[in-house]
Amino acid sequence: MINYKIVQEELGNIKQITEEEKIKKLSQDYYYFSPILSEKLADKTGDLVLQPTSEDEILHIAKICVKHQIPITIRGAGTGNYGQCIPLNGGIILDMTEMNKIQWIKSGIARVEAGVKMSILEREANKQGWELRMIPSTYKIATLGGFIGGGSGGIGSINYGQLRDRGNVHKVKVVTLEKEPRIIELIGDETQQINHAYGTNGIITEIEIPLAPAYNWSDFIVVFDDFMNAVKFGQVLSDSDGIIKKLVSIHAYPIPNYFLALKPYLPQGKSCAFLTIADNSFLPLQELVKEFRGEITYNPQDKQEKPLQLIEFTWNHTTFHARNIDPNLTYLQTFFWNLEQVEKMYKHFGDEVMIHLEFLRVGGKAIPAGLQLVKFTSEKRLNEIIKYHEDNGANIANPHTYILEDGGRKKVEPEQLKFKRMVDPFGLMNQGKMRAWNQ
Amino acid sequence: MINYKIVQEELGNIKQITEEEKIKKLSQDYYYFSPILSEKLADKTGDLVLQPTSEDEILHIAKICVKHQIPITIRGAGTGNYGQCIPLNGGIILDMTEMNKIQWIKSGIARVEAGVKMSILEREANKQGWELRMIPSTYKIATLGGFIGGGSGGIGSINYGQLRDRGNVHKVKVVTLEKEPRIIELIGDETQQINHAYGTNGIITEIEIPLAPAYNWSDFIVVFDDFMNAVKFGQVLSDSDGIIKKLVSIHAYPIPNYFLALKPYLPQGKSCAFLTIADNSFLPLQELVKEFRGEITYNPQDKQEKPLQLIEFTWNHTTFHARNIDPNLTYLQTFFWNLEQVEKMYKHFGDEVMIHLEFLRVGGKAIPAGLQLVKFTSEKRLNEIIKYHEDNGANIANPHTYILEDGGRKKVEPEQLKFKRMVDPFGLMNQGKMRAWNQ
């Protein structure tokens, strides 16, 4: 048994949260999008939340965790969906949101503390004509460290691929939980060791990332009578090297019915595309829409339109809005490798699996990644649905598991396991999430 | 017979060039890269060169051409390679280089007169943080109108595709040679009517193009023991969405021997890559080079290195430098659709066809386009080489013809022919270049 009274004393001036309700809240994420995870994780909570403000405090916390063998779970804003930051065995919750300094932005590179909100970093980068290469739909509150630890891509991935792609993360500073905790800097490819590792192998304290040049972006809504026509439009737009975009989000009818706030722009019965387009590409966009017999229903060039936060209806915000209407809905994450796979699933499942696509680049090629909405009936049926996708060549990154290797990559990268062996020899970090470690 | 004395009088104050030597020079381009064209075009020359400075002057010239039925051939800087601006039947040479005003640059779009030098437009765009999406290796003197009329892509095409790709040309103003010449504005897709049409169907006077955000670029030279390794490196770099580049130029040994000015950086026996990389992507570039066992021999980060104009050793400048050493060399233009095709040709032809690749995007996918150097023996053998490529699935854009439809596209776009019927009913423009018209 850990004596938290002693622990708390040893923590000195480090900010602690001890109220049970607050700890409970800071032990959660958006895992409840999954009925499977909901059941498994609802009662999980930490014992103590810490909010460090400096690397020194984090080093001190690391030492105390090692000394008392306290499990530790790192979190940013907790906007993940797989229980990435939910402690399975109690212990300390390390809330990184007070580690939020922007060290510098120069020559299209930013160096920041891991807990910086992406929206705040974006605002600072904008002042120099830069922006983040990719952001999640939760970017307003999500932290960069959380995104790298638990995310994979987002708005902008249609240009820059995913976080895992070489060049999208330059450097990462990590505090270890070795017998003598220390600070390590990972450079370039070495950062893969901690990328999307759920904070199982080191406390990310600082990050250096390359930025993207900032365009003047505008959001458009386009509607289509025929869903597959919308999908083809999305693929061609994604492949149109002369049209500058950063979001190509396609929603099969009846998904648009879940977007109550956008109702005026979403005629009944139509599938829709949500797009973010650079202002020097409006002209060719309009021609492409025409070619695919789409109709632009929201055009920010029209001065009478009020500005929309369209980003917040895409990626997993789509699931969020749909679940607000029908809590029985859940979702899948799918790599479709071509439009034929999309069409086959669309015809096969009908409204049981409503297709939502986010186009993104994988190895230089734009593909329609799926975040389909699923009418949940049972775990067995959900697994059947997953199997049918995989049997047809689509790859599912299962969002209904908190186990690292059961999710996107299907295996833990050997380098991540090796790195964990070095930096977390006592297995204190985010216990139970990396199966290879447990075995 | 045209009475040029009367014509010259009617031209009034429009700047005329009448010296035979100057006319001869302004009737030429870089057609002599091709021994086939050399033979056919060497003696071709216009009768009178005009250098208009305004749209009004061009309209006046158009009227006079129609009135006297004078053939007219438009030229920019004459940096083309297929005799695009060589008059087959004499007549007026319209030198557009005095039509060079930059009307405005705003919101990442530039509106300019057609004769503006691309280097000057680039410099002005840079002041606002923008640059041209793609430039030919001749950009220092080449005009934008010439590039659109006679070119297809260049440095930057690895990001934005080619000029023909939707969105890369927004608007074009054209003076017609109808019975009553007038000014037409083509918008969006309509600009395809005059794109790469060699000035056969309208005098381009003004152009509106979207720009690219300007990065801080640097040039690198990387060398490889094995050519196919260099090619694979080029493909992976082109497909690396997280590494920002604008030039991926690969040269099989012994091509590097032709680059005398770069000798210190090109070890004997090695193939090389010339790269232009954004300064926020140096780190991942170095890791990629290492993965492919390349060696960086020129790194601008090294303060001791003098700056190189590496761009001027790529695209058709490669051919230019090689021909300076061996005038017997000529070249091909090839769309390779995969690396297997490249390897097959490399092994089959050996040093008879030395492979030079420029990676560029076609429909969202990076491909290795070839500008191979060919040891010329006979037209028959050259055609055999072309046929062997095409039999193996590589598409040749034949640079040994001045006939529009025998070059890149293999047919004249019906819309280009239709547009010519409208704007040039007397067939005065760049006679003999569009076969469909002649028939």
CATH of the domain at A126: 3.30.465.10
CA distance B145 to B151: 9
Name the burial class of residue A174, with classes exposed (0-12), middle (13-18) and buried (19+) by CB atoms within 10 angstroms of its CB: buried
Nearest CA among A109, A39, A36, A33 for reference residue A371: A33
Residues of A in contact with B109 (CB under 8 A): 280
DSSP state of A214: P
CA distance A233 to A235: 5
Q: Confidence class of residue B408 from pLDDT cuts 50, 70 and 90?
A: confident
Q: What is the mean pLDDT of residues B59-79?
A: 98
Is A11 a member of any domain? yes
Residue B304's pLDDT is what? 80
B108 vs A216: CB contact, 8 Å cut-off? yes
A107 vs B288: CB contact, 8 Å cut-off? no
**Shortest alpha-carbon distance between residue B223 and chain A (Å):** 21
Best mutation site among B189, B279, B280, B365 for testing chain A: the one with the most A CBs within 10 Å?
B280
A280 vs B188: CB contact, 8 Å cut-off? no
Nearest residue of A to residue B210, measured between CA atoms? A280
Residues of A in contact with B133 (CB under 8 A): 242
CA distance A173 to B22: 66
Task: Say if residue A58's pLDDT is above 90.
Answer: yes
Is B251 a member of any domain? yes
**Shortest alpha-carbon distance between residue B116 and chain A (Å):** 21
pLDDT digits (tens, 9 = 90+) for B278-295: 999 999 999 999 999 999
Q: Which helix (H) or strand (E) holds B242?
A: none
Q: What is the mean pLDDT of residues A42-62?
A: 97
Q: Confidence class of residue A375 from pLDDT cuts 50, 70 and 90?
A: very high
B168 vs A238: CB contact, 8 Å cut-off? no
Strands A92-95 and A72-75: parallel
B364 vs A363: CB contact, 8 Å cut-off? no
Q: Per-residue DSSP letters for A232-291?
A: HHHHHHHH-TTS-EEEEEEE-TTGGGG-GGGGGGS-TT-EEEEEEEETTSHHHHHHHHHH
Strand partners, A185: A173
Percent pLDDT > 90 in chain B is: 95
B365 vs A364: CB contact, 8 Å cut-off? yes
Co-location of A199 and A246 in the same domain: no
Co-location of A59 and A104 in the same domain: no
Among A108, A242, A286, select the one facing B168 at the smallest CB separation.
Answer: A242
Of B187, B213, B239, the last residue of a domain is B213
Q: Confidence class of residue A408 from pLDDT cuts 50, 70 and 90?
A: confident
**Shortest alpha-carbon distance between residue B286 and chain A (Å):** 9
Count of the separate structural domains present in chain A: 3
Phi-psi domain of A97 (left: phi exceeds 0; alpha: psi -120 through 50; beta: other): alpha
**Shortest alpha-carbon distance between residue B363 and chain A (Å):** 5
ipTM: 0.96
Of A213, A233, A252, the last residue of a domain is A213
Residue B20's pLDDT is what? 97
Sign of CA dihedral A202, A56, A183, A207: positive
Q: Confidence class of residue B439 from pLDDT cuts 50, 70 and 90?
A: confident
Q: What is the mean pLDDT of residues B205-225?
A: 97
Strand partners, A334: A370, A396
Co-location of B10 and B23 in the same domain: yes
Task: Say if residue B102's pLDDT is above 90.
Answer: yes
Strands A48-51 and A92-95: parallel
Tell me the two tokens of residue A358.
């986010």
Co-location of B188 and B281 in the same domain: no
DSSP state of A27: T
CA distance B328 to B349: 17
Q: What is the mean pLDDT of residues B113-134?
A: 98
Work out the mean pLDDT of chain B and round it to a whole number. 96
B242 vs A189: CB contact, 8 Å cut-off? no
Task: Say if residue A411's pLDDT is above 80.
Answer: no
Among B211, B281, B363, select the one facing A167 at the smallest CB separation.
Answer: B281
Is A413 a member of any domain? no
Spatial contact of B264 and B143, defined as CB atoms under 8 Å apart? no
Task: Say if residue B276's pLDDT is above 90.
Answer: yes
Percent pLDDT > 70 in chain A is: 100
**Shortest alpha-carbon distance between residue A161 and chain B (Å):** 6
Among A107, A167, A239, select the one facing B284 at the smallest CB separation.
Answer: A167
Strands A203-213 and A130-132: antiparallel
pLDDT digits (tens, 9 = 90+) for A165-192: 999 999 999 999 999 999 999 999 999 9
CA distance A386 to A94: 34
CA distance B21 to B19: 6
**CA-CA-CA-CA dihedral for B371, B373, B377, B378, to nearest 10:** 10
Is A159 a member of any domain? yes
Among A129, A241, A284, select the one facing B129 at the smallest CB separation.
Answer: A129
Residue B413's pLDDT is what? 82
B210 vs A280: CB contact, 8 Å cut-off? yes
Q: What is the mean pLDDT of residues A141-148?
A: 98
Residues of A in contact with B280 (CB under 8 A): 107-109, 210-211
Residues of B in contact with A281 (CB under 8 A): 167, 210
B284 vs A161: CB contact, 8 Å cut-off? no
Residue A222's pLDDT is what? 98
- Cα dist from B219 to A106, B215, B292, whole Å: 20, 12, 19
Whichever domain contains A390, its CATH number is 3.40.462.40
Co-location of A36 and A164 in the same domain: no
pLDDT digits (tens, 9 = 90+) for A68-89: 999 999 999 999 999 999 999 9
**Shortest alpha-carbon distance between residue A60 and chain B (Å):** 32
Work out the mean pLDDT of chain A and round it to a whole number. 96
| pTM, 2 dp | 0.97
**Shortest alpha-carbon distance between residue B21 and chain A (Å):** 42
Co-location of B186 and B271 in the same domain: no
CA distance A354 to A374: 6
Is B417 a member of any domain? no
Q: Confidence class of residue A21 from pLDDT cuts 50, 70 and 90?
A: very high
Residue B301's pLDDT is what? 84
pLDDT digits (tens, 9 = 90+) for A217-244: 999 999 999 999 999 999 999 999 999 9
Co-location of B233 and B262 in the same domain: yes
Q: What is the mean pLDDT of residues B394-410?
A: 89
Co-location of A281 and A305 in the same domain: yes
* Strand arrangement, sheet containing B365-370: B295-298, B217-224, B271-278, B245-251, B356-362, B365-370, B334-335, B395-396
- Cα dist from A209 to A103, A131, B275, whole Å: 12, 11, 22
Is A131 a member of any domain? yes
Other beta carbons less than 10 A from residue B93's beta carbon: 25
- For tokens 């202002």, the residue is A279
Percent pLDDT > 70 in chain B is: 100
Q: Per-residue DSSP letters for A85-122?
A: T--SS--EEEEGGG---EEEEETTEEEEETT-BHHHHH
Of B213, B244, B267, the last residue of a domain is B213
**What residues of B are in the A interface, CB distance below 8 Å?**
107-109, 129, 133, 159-161, 165-168, 170, 187-189, 210-211, 213-216, 238-244, 278-281, 283-288, 361, 363-366
**Shortest alpha-carbon distance between residue B108 and chain A (Å):** 6
Phi-psi domain of A393 (left: phi exceeds 0; alpha: psi -120 through 50; beta: other): left
Tell me the two tokens of residue B255.
């091509």
Co-location of B235 and B186 in the same domain: no
Spatial contact of A117 and A140, defined as CB atoms under 8 Å apart? yes
HSE at residue A176, side-chain half, CA atoms within 13 A, is 18
Spatial contact of A245 and A275, defined as CB atoms under 8 Å apart? yes
Whichever domain contains B89, its CATH number is 3.30.43.10
Q: Which helix (H) or strand (E) holds B339?
A: helix B339-349
Is A432 a member of any domain? no
Tell me the two tokens of residue B196.
């790469």
Q: What is the mean pLDDT of residues B375-396?
A: 97
CA distance B138 to B79: 7
Residue B143's pLDDT is what? 98
Co-location of B316 and B237 in the same domain: yes
Co-location of A246 and A363 in the same domain: yes
Among A109, A189, A239, select the one facing B280 at the smallest CB separation.
Answer: A109
A241 vs B288: CB contact, 8 Å cut-off? no
Spatial contact of B170 and B209, defined as CB atoms under 8 Å apart? yes
What is the residue range of B104's domain?
98-213
**What residues of A are in the B interface, CB distance below 8 Å?**
107-109, 129, 133, 159-161, 165-168, 170, 187-189, 210-211, 213-216, 238-244, 278-281, 283-284, 286-288, 361, 363-366
Residues of B in contact with A365 (CB under 8 A): 239, 364-365
How many residues are there in chain B? 439
A284 vs B361: CB contact, 8 Å cut-off? no
Q: Per-residue DSSP letters for B352-406?
A: GEE-EEEEEEETTEEEEEE--EEE---HHHHHHHHHHHHHTTPEE--SS---GGG
Co-location of B261 and B169 in the same domain: no
Count of pairs with CB atoms under 8 A, one residue in A, one in B: 122
Residue A1's pLDDT is what? 87
Nearest residue of A to residue B237, measured between CA atoms? A364
Q: Which residues contact A211 (CB under 8 A, 6 or more apart)?
A: A105, A108, A109, A110, A125, A130, A131, A132, A133, B280
Residues of B in contact with A188 (CB under 8 A): 283-284, 286-287
Is B122 a member of any domain? yes
Best mutation site among A241, A243, A275, A337 for testing chain B: the one with the most B CBs within 10 Å?
A241
Residue A439's pLDDT is what? 81
